[in-house]
Amino acid sequence: MAKADVEKLLTAGGKDKTIRAKYDVPGNKEEFIALAAAEGYSFTVAELEEVLKESGDVFEKYGNPPKRSIWWT
C-alpha cells in the first residue's frame, strides 16, 4: 500500500504543476514525506527510495528555480 501511495503522488505531480511546485520545496526526503503525510499519503523514506530506484528517478533538485525530476507523466 505504501509504495502505491508514492506512485499515486508521483503520478499526481506529473499531471499537476501546482503539486509539483509544492513538493519541489522541501529540502530533504523527511520534509517531503511530512508534507505528503499531511495530505493523506502514507510512506517511509525507504519506500520512497525504493520506488525512485525502480523507476530510475533521482530525488535531488536541479535548475533555477530548483525542481525535482521525479514526476511521472
- The mean predicted confidence, pLDDT, of the chain is 96
Share of the chain above pLDDT 70, in %: 99
Average pLDDT over residues 37-65: 97
Domain ranges of the chain: 2-55
* Alpha carbon distances (Å) from 26 to 1, 54: 23, 22
Q: Give 20-42 pLDDT, tens digit per residue.
A: 999 999 999 999 999 999 999 99
DSSP 46-58: HHHHHHHHHHT--
Contact 6, 53 (CB under 8 A): no
For residue 29, the model assigns a pLDDT of: 98
pLDDT confidence of 1, banded at 50, 70, 90?
low
